[in-house]
Amino acid sequence: MRAGVLSLLLWFAGPAAAMQEVVDVLPSGAHIRFAVPDGWRAGGTLLLYQHGFDMDADTDPDLGPLRDLQLAQGYAIAASGYSQSGWALFNAVQDNRDLVAYVSQHFGAPGELVTMGGSMGGLIALKLAESPGVAPVAGVYALCPPAAGARTWDAAFDLRLAYDAVCEGVGGGELLKGDAPLSWAMNLSDIPESMGDLSGARSVQQTYARIHQCTGVALPNWLRTPPQRERMQRLMRFGDFTSEDFLLYNLAYATFALGDLVRAPDKLGVRNPFSSRSVDYGDTLIDARVPRVDADALAAFDFARASSLNGRVGSDTRIVSLHTDGDELVRLAHQQQVRQRYGGNALSVPVDEAAASHCGFSAAELVAGWQQLRTWMATPQSPGDTAGLSAACVAAVAEGWDGPCRFAPALPVSELATTMRERDATAAGYADAAAARISGSWFDPARSGEGVLIERFNERQASVLWFTYAPAGEPDGLVWLGGVGEIDANGIHVETVRRMRGARFGDAFASTDVVAEPWGSMDLAFDGADVANHAARLHLRYRGPAGFGAGQRRMQRALSVGPDGSSRRPDNPRDWQYSGTWFDPARSGEGWLVQQSGAPLERLTSVVWFTYDLDGQALWLTGTAIEQDGRVDLSLYRTGGTRFGADFDAGDVTMSVFGQLRLDFSDCGHAHLEFAADDARYGAFDRDLVRLTRPDIVSTECASP
């Protein structure tokens, strides 16, 4: 099939219903297939089926194991082969958006969506329910999903390092290494084509020959040499494997799939999201030999943002997730993430299997899970019912679907740490920005004179303000950029950053003159959960217009809002109670960001005034003082003398007193401002301010001054 040229329309008439089936290729290169039963109209429910991991591009996507049943029930079904192979999470959500748009164009926009998939496809089905820009997802049918997302690959990374440590010096037993410094990640040139799901490709078998040399895996245990037996036992213990077949399968992922993930330009592009710095591998030899590497915080952010779940689904979204309990590729422990992320929105049920498998469900079990999801979507006030699940399975067997029925809702689900080693939360890339204290000011010591101010509103959102300078090619001056970003994993993504200008200072100010023009985007990633300390790092990546370009900054904490856990004195919420943004409602478009530190710098108050000069260009003014009894008196400084980006020179930065500012806080929602400029052109005035926002560390209750 030639991309963008052939579109095949097939007609099917069966005992259930007539339908139309379409096969095509989208401009992204993703092959698609969808089937629409007669009677389906715009506004009907569309099921999006997600395939599992495949190292080959999927040029012939199927519609899932229950397609005939689901079509007979009146669902339209669509599937994408995705625009990338392997770990397809980086593009899969957009691929599905494109798929829905295609269906909408040809058959009308669907109403609700239902998503379904197994293994990697089960994770994508869950991600779609969380993703903006996708029509409301009423239900998710996720089979054995790697719900730990990006952390799932920590196990592959650890296994690769452990194998290299155990088999070090075994002639012919070493796995192929990649280029330094990521030697544990196979080069793309060494990854053969046509590898499929890694379960039996010839190139995988050739790698198994290396593993055999180290462990004797192809031989009965009694024929292995004592060193081979010892190495095999060590690796089996390390990965908590009971099946040598699963050890081999996992090693295939840890070799080929891991190399593709880290090096492919459409994935991580030779960037490392993994850390082994403080990991305890529980084995003296392995701990001694494993290289200690640090994650690239932005790579970890990109990886987690694409791959990890955040639990943010609609209140009416219903999720049914099944998992085989003997799975040693995607462990049953992943269901802990389903339960923790989605709570009462999810019915998570193990299947108690006699022989271990990956996603080895019976047909009757698959039908039962599906029917249970349909029942729950139809009666959303009813919680997921495990008894109903078992009854549906028995009914499916009676209708001719192959059994058995092995649902075991009481089966214990272990913690992920049982087989996925814990990381030090302060390591690069392993922070949780939704839980960490990130509100405050950040700067690059080599670029003193510009910085970033962050205010986290809640576990989902934070404002980001960047005060900096005009780029070369523009008149000298100041620039302030801002936006509200989405908190995810170890960072914040600000999709739309705006550049403010247009209004004028003082009495000439008019809100209608403010221009908030789209400027670009920013990503911020933190390298540790304890971001309150001054050793923590913020990695900022920006993409701006011509003149600004794209680049990165590495910053450290300048001031932290809230407690620092110091033992020198107890934390006192009053020390930071006025933190937040303040403004005059009659002058929307300018404002004051107040940041107060806790111990040991209690009541140290930073004020940044974001406004405009007399010519309508951006102006920001800064000052710092100690708040005393609800009053802050400080000198405001105006900086200048340098340029944005590579033209920035800290030695050129000038700082001059602009004027005097007094803030009197009558309570946590109101303040009185008095200002007098040193330059008579900017005048003197006073204003009454109200609080616009507050960081989530600040209580809504306020102690009296």
Instruction: Look at residue 437 in the predicted model and tell me its pLDDT.
Output: 82
Residue 553: its pLDDT value, please? 94
Residue with tokens 């209708």: 399
Task: Look at residues 238, 272, 303 and tell me which one is the last residue of a structural domain.
Answer: 303
Amino acid 705: pLDDT? 58
Beta strands in 51-174 (DSSP E): 76-80, 113-118, 137-143
Q: How many whole angstroms separate alpha carbon 673 and alpha carbon 412?
A: 60
Q: Is residue 427 part of a domain?
A: no
Confidence of residue 202 (pLDDT cuts 50, 70, 90): low
Overall average pLDDT of the 542-571 stretch: 81
Residues 100, 157 within the same domain? no
pLDDT tens track for 469-482: 999 999 999 999 99
- For residues 180 and 105, membership in a common domain is answered with no
| 81 and 225 in a common domain | no
CA pair distance 439, 531, nearest whole angstrom: 9
Task: Look at residues 111, 131, 165 and tell me which one is the last residue of a structural domain.
Answer: 111
Per-residue pLDDT band at 534 (split at 50, 70, 90): low
Instruction: Look at residues 371, 414, 403, 695 and name the one whose alpha carbon lies nearest to residue 561.
Output: 695
Q: Tell me, yes or no, whether 184 and 250 share the same domain.
A: yes
Structure tokens at 107: 């058959």
- Sign, CA torsion 212/217/218/224: positive
pLDDT at 602 (0 to 100): 81
Specify whether 465 is located in the same domain as 608: yes
Model pLDDT, residue 700: 74
Residue-wise pLDDT for 422-447, tens only, equals 887 767 677 788 778 889 999 999 99
DSSP line for 199-247: SS-HHHHHHHHHHHHHH-TTS-GGGS-HHHHHHHHHHHHHHT-S-HHHH
Q: Assess contact for 193 and 56: CB atoms under 8 A.
A: yes
The length of the chain is 705
Residue 528 pLDDT level (bands cut at 50, 70, 90): low
Residue 321 resides in a domain:
no
Rounded distance between C-alpha atoms, residue 55 and residue 85, angstroms = 5
With respect to residue 403, please indicate whether it lies within any of the assigned structural domains: no
Considering the domain architecture, whether residues 482 and 606 belong to the same structural domain is answered as yes
Cα 699 from Cα 110, distance rounded (Å): 43
Residue 78: how many CB atoms within 10 A of its CB? 25
Residue 290 lies in a domain: yes
**What mean pLDDT, rounded, does the chain reach?**
90
Same domain assignment for residues 496 and 613: yes
pLDDT at residue 453 above 80? yes
Same domain, residue pair 81 and 173: no
Query: Which residue type, as a one-letter code, is found at position 285?
Result: L
Checking if the pLDDT of 241 tops 90, the result is: yes
Q: How far apart are CA 177 and CA 180, in angstroms?
A: 9
In a domain, 127, yes or no: no
Average pLDDT of the residues in 212-221? 92
CA–CA distance, 537 with 444 (Å, rounded to integer): 10
pLDDT interval class at 333 (50, 70, 90): very high
Question: Is 571 a residue whose pLDDT tops 70?
Answer: no
Cα separation, 461 vs 14, in Å, equals 51
Give me the mean pLDDT over the 128-140 stretch: 91
Residue 602 inside a domain? The answer is yes
* Lowest-confidence segment of 113-117, 228-232, 694-698 by average pLDDT: 694-698
Dump the DSSP string for 443-482: E-GGGBTBEEEEEE-SSSEEEEEEEEEPPTTS-S-EEEEE
Question: Is pLDDT of 527 > 90?
Answer: no
Q: Check whether residue 158 and residue 86 sit in a common domain.
A: no
322's enclosing H/E stretch is strand 318-324
Check whether residue 508 and residue 601 sit in a common domain.
yes
Task: Give domain status of residue 463, yes or no.
Answer: yes
Alpha helices in 111-197, H assignment, sequence order:
120-130, 152-166
- Residues of the chain with pLDDT > 70, as a percent, come to 92
Let me know if residue 380 belongs to a domain.
no
Looking at the structure of the chain, the number of domains it has is 3
C-alpha–C-alpha distance, residues 158 and 649, integer Å = 43
Task: Report pLDDT digits (tens) over 9-53.
Answer: 333 333 445 789 999 999 999 999 999 999 999 999 999 999 999
| Three-point CA angle 538, 257, 333, nearest 5° | 75
What are residue 450's DSSP bridge partners?
448
User: Is the peptide bond preceding residue 15 cis, with omega within 30 degrees of 0?
Assistant: no
The two beta strands, 604-612 and 618-626, are antiparallel
Q: What are phi and psi of 582, to 5 degrees?
A: -130, 150
Which range marks the domain in which residue 659 is found? Answer: 440-693
Say whether pLDDT at 533 is over 60.
Answer: no
> Residues 654, 511: one domain?
yes
* Residue range 392-413, pLDDT digits in tens: 999 999 999 999 999 999 999 9
Domain boundary among 88, 111, 134: 111
Nearest by Cα to 487 from 526, 455, 460? 460
Using CA atoms, how far residue 470 sits from 67, 131, 544, in Å, is: 58, 35, 12
Q: Is the pLDDT of residue 8 over 70?
A: no
Judge if 545 and 663 occupy the same domain: yes
What is d(CA 507, CA 536) in angstroms, rounded to the nearest whole number?
42
